Amino acid sequence: MKCPFCGELENKVIDSRLSRDSVAIRRRRECLICSRRFTTYEKVEEQIPLLVKKDGRRESYSRDKIRRGILMATQKRPVSVGEIDAFLDQLERQFQEGNFKEIHTSEIGERVVEFLRQTDPVAYVRFASVYRQFKSLEDFDRELKELYVNSGGGTRPSNPHFN
């Protein structure tokens, strides 16, 4: 393991323990050259299926890419990083248990949309507007009406700007 401070490879493990969620081993290390300490995590490399894009291209799954999209949608909203990470853990577990070789990005997008719909309506509309490529105010209005009706609110109150 390369020291993040001096770049040398010589270090020793001082302490090892399971991470809080028990999916990784946390190792405290000390560099034998510069004597600084750092932490590493070791976890099982999981087989996530390839993603199939809308245009047919294939690319590797990137948790960080999906996480960034969700974080942008939930910015300044009451959605915790823990909720997001738990959703992503569940999503990845479903991929592994399903033993898929490939999965379409639209399937992931729809699962994210559903997670946000249940978690925070504002974040949902933010994400949906990009994911579904809204091009006009009418697209937003249609989505908001559907959200309002599906949330048990009946018909949306009249708004002179969107009638």
pTM higher than 0.75 for the full model?
Answer: no
Q: What is the pLDDT of residues 68-118, one digit of tens each?
A: 999 999 999 999 999 999 999 999 888 888 878 899 999 999 999 999 989
Among residues 10, 54, 58, 15, which one has the least CA distance to residue 35? 10
pLDDT at position 72, please? 94
pLDDT at position 5, please? 96
Percentages helix, strand, coil for the chain (3-state, rounded to 5) are: 45, 20, 35
